[in-house]
Amino acid sequence: MKKIPIALLLIFLVALAAVPSGASPPAPNRVVVLTLRYANASFSFEDAHLVEGEFIANPSTGAYEVRVLNARGEVQYRTSFDVDFRTYGAADPSWFDDSGNQVFFPTPRPTQTEGSFLFELPLYDDLATGQVVKNEKTLLSFPLDQFALCNSNAICEPAKNENADTCPQDCTLRANASQIQTGQSAAPATPLATGSKDANVTVMLGIAVGVLAVLGLWFWIQKAKNAPKPAKTERKH
């Protein structure tokens, strides 16, 4: 009989593991393509858009960094680069004599001082801002929250595809319905659907209460069986 509580405990653990997580993973196979412009010794934002494809992080070095931050200001991704517009090419053989001495020297090209940089960045569900940093000094900051699945700003924004499943921290029953945004005007104050995280908690509590009830009933039956029976008294004739 002692195996029954162990079996009930195993059932509870299996049921708990089967409850899906409320966290929303980043969008798969999506990459943010960022273009920055460098001119007059400074950076400017040029363009950012989404493309289909798998993000592959490559090793990088350089004095500058592009950083991706979430709504809480935490760095999610960084990559390094240098500002170098020099061109490198092979020398033309006609510039040398038969002994290998260079006899022709072309006119040097003017040094290029401006250009564009292209970066591929991973798409995070709470993507907020991008930065260009050098020696921990921010040279440029630009918004990237237009690509976020959930910007965690305590405002439910259906126009940005936020809902109770993709953004439970912004779109829950506890959120202020007057803050729901639909684009041009605020949505009517109607209750929002409960997020999957809240539903998971309810399921877990229900399973725990059910297991405790069964355990209580089992112990009560065992106690009743093991209780001493009253002694029988013989009647005298």
pLDDT band at 107 (very low <50, low <70, confident <90, very high): confident
pLDDT at residue 87 greater than cutoff 50: yes
> Closest by alpha carbon to 62, among 41, 43, 78, 48?
78
Length of the chain (residues): 237
pLDDT at residue 187 greater than cutoff 90: no
Better-predicted residue by pLDDT, 181 or 46: 46
Mean pLDDT, residues 74-86: 89
Better-predicted residue by pLDDT, 124 or 43: 43
pLDDT at residue 183 greater than cutoff 60: no
Listed by start position, the domains of the chain span: 3-21+195-226, 28-86+117-151
pLDDT at 177: 46
pLDDT band at 69 (very low <50, low <70, confident <90, very high): very high
pLDDT at residue 191 greater than cutoff 90: no
pLDDT at 62: 93
